[in-house]
Chains A and B, each alone.
Chain A
Amino acid sequence: MPDQDLRVAQRSQTQLVARRFRRHRLAMISLVVLLALVLLAFVGGWLWKYSVADLTPDESVPPSWDHPFGTDAAGHDTFAQVLRGTQISIGIAVLGALVATVVGTVWGATAGYYGGRLDTAMMRIADLVLTLPFLAVAAVLGHNLGGSWWLIAAVIAGLYWAYVARVARGVVLSLREKEFVEAAKAIGAGDARIIFRHLVPNALGSIIVNATVLVAIAILLETALSYLGFGVRPPDTSLGLLVSDAQTAVDTRPWLFFFPGVFIIVIALTINFIGDGLRDALDPQQTRMRR
């Protein structure tokens, strides 16, 4: 059986997507930079000679070999602080985006699959959530619930799931009309099987792209919350909190402000580029050619 007769080269869809992603240079560079940052934060933070709580005898020194990012007035090593802040910020953003994505996907897929009144009711609830002024509500919730990092993540998820739900519903609405869904019904598949085995996996491409962007949004939201004092609280720290603490030192000790700020920008930017790359790689239009 010669295989060359197959119309499409034997490559799984995942491989094709990966190949197209690799060719997106900006996204690949971003992925490498982001992975390096994450590695630095989680492994480097653990290996680094100073920990967050360590008070060094060096107070307010500019960046040096001993303190690459300098120190603050109390003698904390800023490098250790930034690494810890990155850990917390990324943790919050990833957990928040993950929960929002799972909840939103199930919500949106269910609404989209059943349609009718259930759809209307479910989507009105989602719309209601979307109309809330995010920052204000997050601030109030964050303030009242205390500053533990996973609670902040929960607040972010609680506000952003509706956004994912809308996307998931849109994708499912178009998938629902596909014959393979009817085929599943015809062989006796139940609703849960159709939603989770057929609809969600096929919607996953668009959902992943959105989840990626959501991580970037969550990083920025966390930053804003912590900056305003409604997010993570000392003694723990986050990138937002570091920026906030350093705002009085912009002129005198710019390194306190500069490094966490750069980290925030780099993380948000790279994640957005990765999202772009994923979107392009998942777009099936690219493989089509005109007959």
Chain B
Amino acid sequence: MTSLGTPVLEVADLRVEFRTDEGRVPAVRGVSFQLHRGEVLGIVGESGSGKSVTSLAMMGLLAGSARVSGSVRLRGTELLGASDKALSRVRGQSIAMIFQDPMTSLNPVYPIGYQVAEAIRAHHDISRDAARTQALQLLDAVSIPNPAQRVDNYPHELSGGMRQRVVIAIAMANGPEVIIADEPTTALDVTVQAQILDALRSAKERTGATMLLITHDLGVIAGQADRVLVMYAGRVVEAGTVEEIFYTPRMPYTLGLLGSQPRLDMRRQRLHPISGAPPSALNLPSGCPFAPRCPLAAPVCEAEEPPLTGAGGHLSACHFSDQLVGLEPGDLFRPVSQDSEL
């Protein structure tokens, strides 16, 4: 899965800074990764970790108050700083996006079939009828029941799960090379989530696209991703194959995240929470941003922020990643609850 070749998408040292009333907020602090053909790269992180900002920045979708630097190359073509016109050609055709709330992508005043057809026509010179026929096929491909009937429905007439399917159909419309799915199932119920994950997978298989799947849900990552980036405080703190991340994590934060997660396949057990809360981007601690919450923290952690390094494809940003070999979450994080979050 991780066999290298020319990457489809290459992100290098992506940085995003917001200017706000409170001062400059570094939301993304140097994120680099490559997407290879046919793979699913998962980005997992908690709120405020910068995972969504990363995807928006890649697509040039951030507001004017954001300063974006670094490089995002699609098959060698730089996207950062490209003109709006060039970008909108890329968006939807080469790169498709799926957001948490389907209504951000759907226009409430047009029927869904029309919207799918328009997405096709925006990049292909075909007749309305031909586009409509293709739209019907796409709606069918994402398992919308009775597409011929639903094609003239408006978004508000559909359930959340059905709307998300329409968005996936639009994403598939032009056979994109990359599909970016940002928390695509977070707003949905679990039984619907299973349907949507299924639809996403078949969309990926049909188009042969590479997928960037952004989520906070470790279960979704475990089931869907080939490789995983773990983000914390605007940086990638660990990267590896899904098995490496889940079975041999090399960053205390990843281990803590796994130990905090209640699991369906385990009986009532004590959870091992990470003490404290993620730092505010306004006020990052010096050195490793995880140090204030980390049981392994030593003076060196506060002195310098560890780089993302490692052998093979498994990288981690921790001064003591060697010490984590063979550790269970409970060995590192005390199972207490009375600790204050400060």
Contacts and interface: CB of A to CB of B under 8 A. Distances in A.
A19 B56 CA distance: 31
B96 to A, nearest CB: 21
A8 B21 contact: no
A6 B280 contact: yes
Interface stretch (B45-53, B147-155, B164-172, B186-194): B45-53
B103 interface: no
Interface residues of A, number: 16
Contacts of A290: 18, 53, 56, 62-63, 66
Interface string B45-80: 001100011001000001101100000000000000
A287 B25 CA distance: 12
B279 interface: yes
Nearest to A288: B20
Contacts of B18: 289-290
Interface in B234-291: 276-277, 279-280, 282-283, 285
Is chain A's interface secondary structure helix, strand, loop, or mixed overall? Answer: loop
Contacts of B283: 4, 9
A2 B292 contact: yes
A4 B48 contact: no
B3 interface: no
Interface residues of B, number: 26
Interface in A1-38: 1-9, 19-20
A291 interface: yes
A3 B342 CA distance: 7
Contacts of A9: 22, 280, 282-283
A131 interface: no
Contacts of B342: 1-3, 5-6
A5 B292 contact: yes
Nearest to B49: A291
A137 B325 CA distance: 85
A181 B283 CA distance: 33
B135 to A, nearest CB: 32
A286 interface: yes
Contacts of A289: 18, 20, 25, 65
Nearest to A8: B280
Contact of A291 (B21, B22, B48, B285): B48
A20 B20 CA distance: 12
B292 A291 contact: no
Interface in B136-188: none
A18 to B, nearest CB: 13
A286 B22 CA distance: 11
A20 to B, nearest CB: 7
Contacts of A8: 280
Is chain B's interface secondary structure helix, strand, loop, or mixed overall? Answer: loop
B340 interface: yes
A14 to B, nearest CB: 15
Contacts of A2: 292, 342
Contact of B279 (A1, A4, A20, A291): A4
Contact of B277 (A5, A19, A20): A5
Nearest to B53: A291
B52 A4 contact: no
A76 B230 CA distance: 81
A290 B63 CA distance: 8
A6 B340 CA distance: 12
A210 to B, nearest CB: 24
Interface string B304-342: 000000000000000000000000000000000000111
A5 B52 contact: no
A271 B57 CA distance: 42
B87 to A, nearest CB: 18
A3 B277 CA distance: 11
Contacts of A6: 280, 342
A131 to B, nearest CB: 35
Nearest to B341: A5
B277 A7 contact: yes
Interface string B21-47: 110010100000000000000000001
A1 B275 CA distance: 12
A5 B21 contact: no
Contacts of B48: 291
Interface in A264-291: 286-287, 289-291
Contact of A20 (B21, B25, B280): B21
A1 B52 CA distance: 31
Interface in A232-291: 286-287, 289-291
B31 to A, nearest CB: 15
21 contacts: A1-B340, A2-B292, A4-B283, A5-B277, A5-B292, A5-B342, A6-B280, A8-B280, A9-B280, A9-B282, A9-B283, A20-B21, A287-B20, A287-B22, A289-B25, A289-B65, A290-B63, A290-B66, A291-B47, A291-B48, A291-B52
Given A289-B20, A290-B56, 6 more contacts: A5-B277, A5-B280, A9-B282, A289-B18, A289-B25, A291-B27
Q: Give 5 nearest A-B pairs by CB, closest first.
A: A1-B342, A7-B280, A289-B20, A289-B18, A4-B283
